[in-house]
């Protein structure tokens, strides 16, 4: 009978201590200033396009610029962030049907009427026929753009077409950050 009595006492003691054992972790969290809650997770898209359009819609795919012997040796275009995520850079391809050309960037703002880069530096991003070339040109938000130009570097041959392609890889997307609200 002693055996039953001690078992009964153990059950009563355990039942009495149970609320204290359950409340202890919650009390410790409150005392430590811990807060719990939910956090929304989102997703996004990354993309950019070469375009002559100044505003949306920008189009999709590669941009084809046609040069003629009677025309100018340079044309300007925008590279626009058409995704929902900030970009740290883009990768370019440039092909041509006849003449050779360079894709160039101005460190300030192009003076398109004179073809100069006042108070700045002109940098060649790539030449036609080269391997795809990455450009570290941040495009922070949807719709932001950089202005580039294509300049013919050899004699313009009749109806030369320069095709500019732009791609963005995951490594060229700004890393995610967590915010609190």
Do 56 and 136 lie in one domain? The reply is yes
Note if the pTM is more than 0.75: no
**Residue 160 corresponds to which tokens in the numbers above?**
């030369």
pLDDT in tens, 92-138: 999 988 888 999 999 999 999 999 999 999 999 999 888 888 888 88
Measure the CA–CA gap between 95 and 89, rounded to whole angstroms.
20
Do 5 and 59 lie in one domain? The reply is no
Measure the CA–CA gap between 107 and 102, rounded to whole angstroms.
16
Whether the CB-CB separation of 85 and 174 falls below 8 Å is answered with yes
Do 64 and 23 lie in one domain? The reply is no
Do 31 and 52 lie in one domain? The reply is no
Measure the CA–CA gap between 166 and 113, rounded to whole angstroms.
26
Do 77 and 166 lie in one domain? The reply is yes
Do 12 and 71 lie in one domain? The reply is no
**What average pLDDT does this structure show over 75-81?**
95
Rg (CA), the chain: 31
Instruction: Answer whether residue 181 is part of any domain.
Output: no
Measure the CA–CA gap between 144 and 86, rounded to whole angstroms.
9
Do 6 and 58 lie in one domain? The reply is no
Whether the CB-CB separation of 46 and 170 falls below 8 Å is answered with yes
Instruction: Answer whether residue 100 is part of any domain.
Output: yes
The larger pLDDT score, comparing residue 41 to residue 53, is at 53
The pLDDT of residue 135 is 87
Do 52 and 23 lie in one domain? The reply is no
Measure the CA–CA gap between 116 and 119, rounded to whole angstroms.
9
Instruction: Answer whether residue 104 is part of any domain.
Output: yes
The larger pLDDT score, comparing residue 14 to residue 39, is at 39
Do 97 and 9 lie in one domain? The reply is no
Whether the CB-CB separation of 134 and 105 falls below 8 Å is answered with no
The pLDDT of residue 28 is 53
Expressed as residue numbers, the domain containing 136 is 48-172
Q: What proportion of the chain, given as a percentage, has pLDDT over 70?
A: 73
Measure the CA–CA gap between 177 and 181, rounded to whole angstroms.
13
* Confidence check: pLDDT of 144 > 60: yes
The larger pLDDT score, comparing residue 70 to residue 149, is at 149
């Amino acid at each position: 009978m002693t055996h039953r009595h001690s078992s009964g006492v153990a059950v009563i003691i355990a039942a009495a201590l149970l609320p204290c054992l359950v409340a202890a972790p919650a009390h410790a969290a409150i005392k430590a200033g811990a807060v719990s809650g939910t956090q929304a997770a989102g997703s996004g898209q990354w993309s950019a396009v070469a375009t002559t359009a100044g505003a949306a819609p920008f189009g999709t795919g590669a941009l084809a610029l046609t040069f003629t012997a009677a025309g100018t040796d340079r044309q300007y275009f925008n590279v626009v962030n058409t995704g929902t995520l900030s970009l740290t850079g883009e990768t370019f391809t440039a092909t041509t049907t006849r003449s050779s050309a360079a894709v160039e960037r101005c460190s300030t703002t192009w003076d398109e009427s004179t073809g100069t880069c006042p108070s700045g530096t002109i940098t060649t991003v790539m030449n036609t026929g080269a391997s795809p070339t990455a450009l570290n040109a941040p495009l922070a938000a949807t719709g932001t753009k950089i202005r580039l130009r294509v300049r013919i570097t050899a004699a313009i041959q009749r109806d030369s077409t320069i095709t500019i392609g732009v791609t963005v890889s995951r490594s060229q997307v700004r890393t995610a950050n967590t915010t609190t609200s």
